[in-house]
Amino acid sequence: MRLFPIVTALLVMAALYLFVFERERIVTFAGGDAGARPADDGTGGTAAAAATTGQTDEVGLVSVVVQKSSARSVDSGVLVRGRTEAARQVEMRAETSGQVISAPLRKGARVTEGQLLCQLDPGTREAALTEAQARLPEAMSRIPEAKARLPEAQARLSEAKSRLIEAEINQRAAKRLSKDGFASETRVAAADAAFEAALAAVQTATAGVAAAQSGVKAAEAGVQAAEAGIAAARKEIDRLSVTAPFGGLLESDTAELGTLLQPGALCATIIQLDPIKLVGFIPETVVAKVSVGAMAGARLATGDEVSGKVTFLSRSADPATRTFRVEIEVPNRDQAIRDGQTAEIAISSAGEAAHLLPSSALTLDDDGAIGIRTVNPERKVEFMPVDILRDTVDGIWVKGLPETVDVIVVGQEYVTQGVLVAVTYRELLQ
């Protein structure tokens, strides 16, 4: 019963020995036997030899699989990695000091424009307003009194000017009479003194008019100061109420009841998420392809896909990264998109001709340039560098190739430039 397995094992061992250690002799024996087969009988023998030679030439070539590809117009895009950003975000801070007397609102609550966030204790501010309002009538009552002094001062000035004219006439007359010997020097001196006195009276009256005018202006300034005091008191009271400048969500709790806020202290943080912005940074090599108003789409880290339009493209590059900030506005009515999420952004640009190829067809040349290997009409291998436009689930879009090209999709790593290959087209395999 055990003899048959033993014989089988011995035969297998003998076959393995011949195949491994005596392989060359077996191949030589088989080749010599095959070389004696062709018969030397006229044309038939010649045809067989020719056929054998053709098969030998084809067998010696490296076989590759080739795919015919034609260029198609595709919407090229600029791919950037960015993040979501709230359309608005503001920190509401107190403008005056006071104790919070309103109940706090909790983070995440929706607020509307003008809604009260923090109410501060007014303290003595109402009394300060009343005092400022009481000063206004008092200041206004001074204006008629000051204006009444002005006509009196102007009348005195007119009287003084008349006396000056009279004194000047008497002075001239006295000097003329003294010259002719009809008046004494004493009279001339008296006329001069009267003229100087009249001149001084005119100057005093002019100063009185100026003083009266200054009094009117001071009274008017007092009224303005009283009005400014009232406005300041009212503004101080308005600062006691910290309200939302726009509708949005509270990102933090409002100040707790009883908290003492000083000027600049934080009351609450509000963000607006509808619409929301997608923010990315474009390299300077492709920034010319992007324009304001271009359509854009993004895939968030959660897998959600959104779309919108480019609303801003920076004209100044970041000095550290040499990139340009771009913003895309996206609707977010349900506010499901949050601030600060990672996003892969694709911005559309003008279409261009490109080929859709399997990503496995890409290879590198000796210099490290990325490209593909193709077959020319003489069935020789050529390397063509390419530029990658985008990667999709159906393949990779590349540009820089002729309108039509035969791309090696299988076996490209086993051939080099100028090698003659045996071509099998993928369409034939399908």
Contact 269, 91 (CB under 8 A): yes
Closest by CA position to 421, among listed 410, 80, 226, 76: 410
pLDDT at 331 (0 to 100): 92
Instruction: Show the tokens assigned to 8.
Output: 């089988």
**3-21 and 23-35 helices, crossing angle to 10°:** 80
In order of 288, 295, 296, 375, the CA distances from 75 in angstroms are: 15, 11, 12, 28
Q: Is the separation of the CB atoms in 407 and 357 below 8 Å?
A: yes
The answer, yes or no, to whether the previous bond of 275 is cis (omega within 30 of 0) is yes
SS (H, E, C) 15-32: HHHHHHHCHHHHHHHHHH
Question: Starting from the edge strand earliest in sequence, which strands make up the sheet with 387-392, in order?
Answer: 72-74, 352-357, 395-399, 387-392
Residue 335: name the closest of 304, 296, 313, 299 by CA.
304
CB 323 within 8 A of CB 363: no
CA dist 154 and 127 (Å) reads: 43
Collapse the DSSP code of 267 into the 3-class scheme (helix H, G, I; strand E, B; otherwise coil) and give the result.
Answer: strand
Which amino acid is it at 97? S
Contact 294, 349 (CB under 8 A): yes
- In the chain, the domains with their CATH numbers are 67-75+352-429 (2.40.420.20), 128-238 (1.10.287.620), 271-348 (2.40.30.170)
Mean pLDDT by 10 residues, the chain (430 residues): 71 73 64 44 40 47 89 80 92 93 92 93 90 86 80 81 81 74 72 81 83 82 88 92 92 92 93 92 89 90 91 92 93 89 87 85 88 91 88 86 91 88 70
Nearest residue to 395 via CA among 426, 352, 354: 354
Specify the DSSP class assigned to residue 115.
Answer: -
**Position 127, amino acid:** A
* Cβ within 8 Å of residue 416, ≥6 positions away: 381
Q: Read off the tokens for 292.
A: 């304001």
Q: Tokens in use for 272? A: 């607006």
In 3-state terms, what secondary structure has residue 124?
Answer: coil
pTM, rounded to two decimals = 0.53
Q: 380 pairs with which residues across the strands?
A: 420
Q: What is the DSSP letter of 104?
A: P
Owner of token pair 């001069």: 192
Helix axis angle for 125-180 and 185-238, nearest 10°, is 170
Q: At residue 44, what is the residue type?
A: G
Phi/psi-derived region of residue 322, left when phi > 0, alpha when psi is between -120 and 50, beta in every other case: left
pLDDT of residue 21: 67
Tokens of 62: 């490296």
The residue among 207, 200, 219, 220 whose CA lies nearest residue 153 is: 207
Q: pLDDT value at position 97?
A: 93
Distance CA 140, CA 125 (A): 23
